[in-house]
Amino acid sequence: MKRKIAILGATGSIGTSTLDLIERAPERFEVIALTAGTDAEGLANAARRTRAKLAVIADQSRLAELEARLAGTDCRAATGAEALNEAASGEADWVMAAIVGCAGLVPVMAALEAGRTVALANKEALVSAGALMTDAATRHGATLLPVDSEHNAIFQCLAGSRRDDVSKLILTASGGPFRTTSEADIRAATPEQAVAHPNWTMGAKISVDSASLMNKGLELIEAHFLFGLPPERIEVLIHPQSVVHSLVEYIDGSVLAQLGSPDMRVPIAYALAWPERMPTPAERLDLASIGSLEFEQPDLQRFPALRIARQALVQGGAAPTILNAANEIAVASFLGGQIGFTEIASLVEQAIERAVAGAPSSIEDVIQVDLETRRAVSELIEARCH
């Protein structure tokens, strides 16, 4: 029986890596549905190659182009929230959640409520919805498989052990392009410098998050909700080589780590074949040629985003939702040249300080807090620019 696949965000960095693996193993996988934001050409090409049945484009103005590019195939072109939910919860039994940002929340919830296996790359959705998402997975018998390399590493290191035997989780972080940059130079950082990640090739938003260490902050919150450990038992360790993808310390002092070359196809393949494994073309790890691995403490002075994210997790309530929404707006404004790099963290901190909202009790609440925060942070940015 072939695994039936849907990919939400099929034209992005994670989406194309997922397609690459699927197209190398056509005997194992059948592509049912693919979605994209605006890239009708990339979506149509992928749908043609994989003989997908449904292609959904979020940007309605690109539907006609998508239809034209799919002419003569059996693939239906569609747009809109309903079509996106159909892609996530229809015929497919395995769903890659690789939309960037909170825009991916509603389809992820649709997939979980339909009891699907969801491979989660879209960390913003989980940070924003928190326990509402993991509870939905439990209630509907859905499976949530972590794709983020750190969480996938931890998931692998936890296999076959009792949760009570875990003492802490250690998330590694490359430190990003500004690991050794002075505070003054970080302040003057351009979007080009911020997206130039030393070890990984990724979408623009997560690349900026990696440069500010907000990515690790989001991952701290992601780890809390995925694995159920309290914040004080989840640590962050800078490891510039990105070879050790994360570690689990057990009560007897044993530490288990997962290692590999920095290629997202490895964690994606683990989720695709789970509970089995499948071959990947990822470069094999050559430890002798790497020679030595380095580790250091994160510098919370130069990278306040990590401290702010930890505070948001400890604070709880709506704070993680606000953190994520404020960061999405701030990062987009930084990429658009409206604000400086260090303003990202200060805007996020201000948004959390102004928070009055209690804990969201439904996904509708989460979306409401998300929208209100976006509006408030946009106003703060407007005010600064005038």
Binding site for ligand NAD (CB under 6 A): 9-15, 36-37, 39, 58, 98-100, 103, 121-124, 148, 200, 202-203, 206, 264
Shortest separation between residue 147's beta carbon and Mg ion, angstroms: 9
> Is 134 or 152 the residue whose CB approaches Mg ion more closely?
152
Binding site partner of 92, from ligand NAD, Mg ion, none, Cβ cut-off 5-8 A by kind = none
Residue nearest to ligand NAD (CB): 12
Which residue type is seen at 165? Answer: D
Pairing of strands 54-57, 76-78: parallel
| Segment holding 338, helix H or strand E | none
Binding site partner of 86, from Mg ion, ligand NAD, none, Cβ cut-off 5-8 A by kind = none
Residue whose entry in the numeric block shows the structure tokens 């005997």: 27
Shortest separation between residue 76's beta carbon and Mg ion, angstroms: 34
> Is 9 or 260 the residue whose CB approaches ligand NAD more closely?
9
Q: How far apart are CA 46 and CA 96, in angstroms?
A: 15
Q: How far apart are CA 113 and CA 194, in angstroms?
A: 37
> Is 81 or 188 the residue whose CB approaches ligand NAD more closely?
81
Shortest separation between residue 216's beta carbon and Mg ion, angstroms: 8
> Is 121 or 344 the residue whose CB approaches ligand NAD more closely?
121
Shortest separation between residue 238's beta carbon and ligand NAD, angstroms: 17
Shortest separation between residue 121's beta carbon and Mg ion, angstroms: 9
At a CB cut-off of 8 Å and minimum separation 6, what does 299 contact? none
Q: Is 221 exposed, middle or buried (0-12, 13-18, 19+ CB in 10 A)?
A: buried
Shortest separation between residue 108's beta carbon and ligand NAD, angstroms: 10
Binding site partner of 128, from ligand NAD, Mg ion, none, Cβ cut-off 5-8 A by kind = none
> Is 70 or 206 the residue whose CB approaches ligand NAD more closely?
206
Shortest separation between residue 72's beta carbon and ligand NAD, angstroms: 24
Q: How far apart are CA 91 and CA 63, in angstroms?
A: 22
Binding site partner of 154, from Mg ion, ligand NAD, none, Cβ cut-off 5-8 A by kind = none
Q: How far apart are CA 364 and CA 246, in angstroms?
A: 34
Contact 118, 97 (CB under 8 A): yes
> Is 11 or 215 the residue whose CB approaches Mg ion more closely?
215
Binding site partner of 90, from Mg ion, ligand NAD, none, Cβ cut-off 5-8 A by kind = none
Shortest separation between residue 59's beta carbon and Mg ion, angstroms: 27
Residue nearest to Mg ion (CB): 148
| Segment holding 122, helix H or strand E | none
Q: How far apart are CA 114 and CA 207, in angstroms?
A: 32
Binding site partner of 206, from Mg ion, ligand NAD, none, Cβ cut-off 5-8 A by kind = ligand NAD
| Segment holding 132, helix H or strand E | helix 131-139
Binding site partner of 12, from ligand NAD, Mg ion, none, Cβ cut-off 5-8 A by kind = ligand NAD
Q: How far apart are CA 241 and CA 154, in angstroms?
A: 18
Q: How far apart are CA 110 and CA 116, in angstroms?
A: 9
> Is 150 or 370 the residue whose CB approaches Mg ion more closely?
150
| Segment holding 140, helix H or strand E | none
Q: Is 322 exposed, middle or buried (0-12, 13-18, 19+ CB in 10 A)?
A: buried
> Is 247 or 361 the residue whose CB approaches ligand NAD more closely?
247
Per CB under 5 A, residues contacting Mg ion are 148-150
Contact 270, 254 (CB under 8 A): no
